Amino acid sequence: MTNKELVLKFYEEVFNGWDTSHLDLYMREDYKQHNPHVEDGREGFRRFSEKFLALRPHMDIHHILADGDLVCVFFKCTLGTNGMVNKVFDMYRIEDGKLAEHWDCVEHDLGDITPVHANGLF
């Protein structure tokens, strides 16, 4: 499985399928996290996911890029509980066929803000 395929399968099962039961197939136990709201490690991600997946997110992937051991995913995240939309970039470092490290950048729904252009978030 390529690194891109690994990340796509992870998104489909975990984020869109709301299922963390097979995290050991996708993620190293010593997974390193750069999001300040999520603990390091597979179990830290699992604890975060319990709360996040309760919001019933759906990720619509717009682009996925791979360069060596790095995979970057650009996607629209819609929360099923309230319809909130976020624009997200996630970057993963892959080691031995598993997610080893994660960085992200999230832009929240604009809400009542009027953009200065008509390009939209995506």
| Cβ–Cβ under 8 Å, residues 89 and 76 | no
Asked if 86 and 57 count as a contact pair (C-beta separation under 8 A), the reply is no
Binned at pLDDT 50, 70 and 90, residue 117 comes out as: confident
Dump strand ranges (E) for the chain: 27-33, 57-67, 70-79, 85-95, 98-108
- pLDDT tens digits along 28-81: 999 999 999 999 999 999 999 999 999 999 999 999 999 999 999 999 999 999
CB-based contact 44:31 (threshold 8 Å):
yes
pTM for this prediction: 0.91
Residues 60, 80 contacting (CB under 8 angstroms): no
The verdict on domain 3-108 having CATH code 3.10.450.50 is: yes
From 15-29, 59-73, 99-113, the region with the lowest mean pLDDT: 99-113
User: Residues 26, 6: contact at Cβ < 8 Å?
Assistant: yes
Residue spans per domain, the chain? 3-108
